[in-house]
Amino acid sequence: MFSLLSIVLTFLALILIPCVFISRCLSVPLSFTNIRRLIKIAASQCDEEEEKYKKSYCTTGKKEKQERIPKHVAIILDGNRRWAKKRGGRTEEGHEAGSRRVLEVAMDFFTLGTNTVSLFAFSTENWGRPEDEVKYLMSMFEKFLKSEIPYFQRHKVKISVIGNRANISESLLGSIREVEEATKGYEERHLIVAIDYSGRFDILQACKNISEKAKKGLIQVEDIDEKLIDKELMTSCSEFPNPDLLIRTSGEQRISNFFLWQSAYTELYFPNVLWPDFGEAEYLQTLTWYQQRDRRFGRRV
């Protein structure tokens, strides 16, 4: 009983003492009605301050997160064959499952604000795979590029195919030209598909182009710098040629001759999941990991 009385008296003191002080300062008579008004005013001011804080916090957080969205995401689509083998299926089934995942993941990044998504679909070294598998992949690329043109146009996605086209069939080349022409006017979303691509070949062809220009007197030796090389690389088709984030699925931790020049300051992420299993949870985990990285580019912050 005594403790309850002391609690009540303490509570009243905490309420009354500030009210007495405020009433004197404001020359307001101390009454129950005025005390209630003062409490309401104080509570209202606290709510306003809290709301201002929340708005400020949310706006700042949103802005900071937007600034930490990768503008260019490169993906090495690894693990299709192992995915099929684990399920007792054919290699083709793994590639089909992987192709279905491509647009889902690309659109996730585009929706978030990423401008360019690059896919390492077929490396120059992949020509060494079984002939049946290579034929199937080339047929799948052709079908994918041609059949998805309405989808690319509906979502305003620009398509660029990079790589050495010397060994590509005329049929596939026709589909490449068709999809590139049909989507060339779009800018905010850019999907780059690397077929018969090699980072070494990309650098080599850039050097040859520069040498030819120097030979013809179009440029001088003093003109050759990193910016000039950037312009001669195949990724010059993108507004953001250098990836901020490179993902290689399946747990393998190497970039396998993909974007050797462009990846100088790229964040490398190697999730231990096969490409066909790379879903929304893995996408969110990847993004969270990237946003926690401290990207200094050699500078002290």
Q: What gap in Å lies between CA 196 and CA 170, rounded to an integer?
A: 14
* Annotated catalytic residue 230: no
Q: What gap in Å lies between CA 148 and CA 179, rounded to an integer?
A: 9
Q: CA 74, 78, 83, 84 torsion: positive or negative?
A: positive
Catalytic position from the list 78, 196, 202, 244: 78
CB 196 within 8 A of CB 167: yes
For residue 301, the tally of other CB atoms under 10 A from its CB is 6
Nearest to 268, CA basis, from 276, 277, 278, 258? 258
Phi, psi values for residue 184, rounded to 5°: -65, -20
Q: What gap in Å lies between CA 67 and CA 59, rounded to an integer?
A: 12
- Enumerate residues 6+ apart whose C-beta is below 8 A from 86: 274
Residues designated catalytic: 78
